[in-house]
């Protein structure tokens, strides 16, 4: 069964460092997303991406964050200068369409900022 894959599964980084989280969405999906979940809290929307541009972003997704689809398969989330409060599980997801279609999530990348 097709699935969303994410790397790395866990990354520890020092405050102020740049981090890139990578994702390979399901191959025929057109909409891509990043969500984050701070330990023990709810899953929060960060950004959605369609047709090579951001279609929607939340207030969490400030100038420190950026997304890119550098080639036909990868979808990346970059955090430019990490802060302690960026420590969270980051989920990549994709859906076939954007109209209420099921969003399938990867297994998450756990980011720890020290």
Query: What letter does residue 84 receive in the DSSP assignment?
Result: G
C-alpha distances in angstroms, 68 versus 14, 71, 85?
A: 23, 9, 22
Q: Which is nearer to another protein, 31 or 65 (CB)?
A: 31
Q: Which is nearer to another protein, 66 or 96 (CB)?
A: 96
Q: Which is nearer to another protein, 35 or 61 (CB)?
A: 35
The distance of closest approach from Cβ of residue 81 to another protein in the complex, given in angstroms and rounded to an integer, is 26
Contacts of 3 (CB under 8 A, 6+ apart): 26, 104, 106
Phi, psi of 15 (to 5 degrees): -50, 135
The distance of closest approach from Cβ of residue 23 to another protein in the complex, given in angstroms and rounded to an integer, is 14
Q: Which residues bind another protein (CB under 8 A)?
A: 31, 33, 35, 41-45, 48, 50-51, 55-56, 89, 91, 95, 98-108, 110
């Amino acid at each position: 069964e097709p699935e969303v894959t994410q790397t790395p599964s866990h990354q520890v980084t020092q405050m102020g460092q740049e981090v890139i989280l990578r994702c390979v969405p399901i191959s025929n999906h057109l909409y891509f997303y990043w969500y984050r979940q701070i330990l023990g809290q709810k899953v929060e929307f960060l950004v959605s991406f369609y047709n090579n541009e951001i279609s929607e972003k939340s207030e969490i997704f400030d100038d420190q964050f950026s997304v890119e689809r550098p080639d036909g398969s990868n979808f990346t989330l970059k955090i430019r200068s990490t802060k302690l409060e960026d420590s969270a599980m980051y989920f990549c997801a994709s859906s076939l369409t954007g109209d209420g279609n099921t969003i399938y999530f990867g297994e998450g990348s756990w980011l720890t900022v020290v």
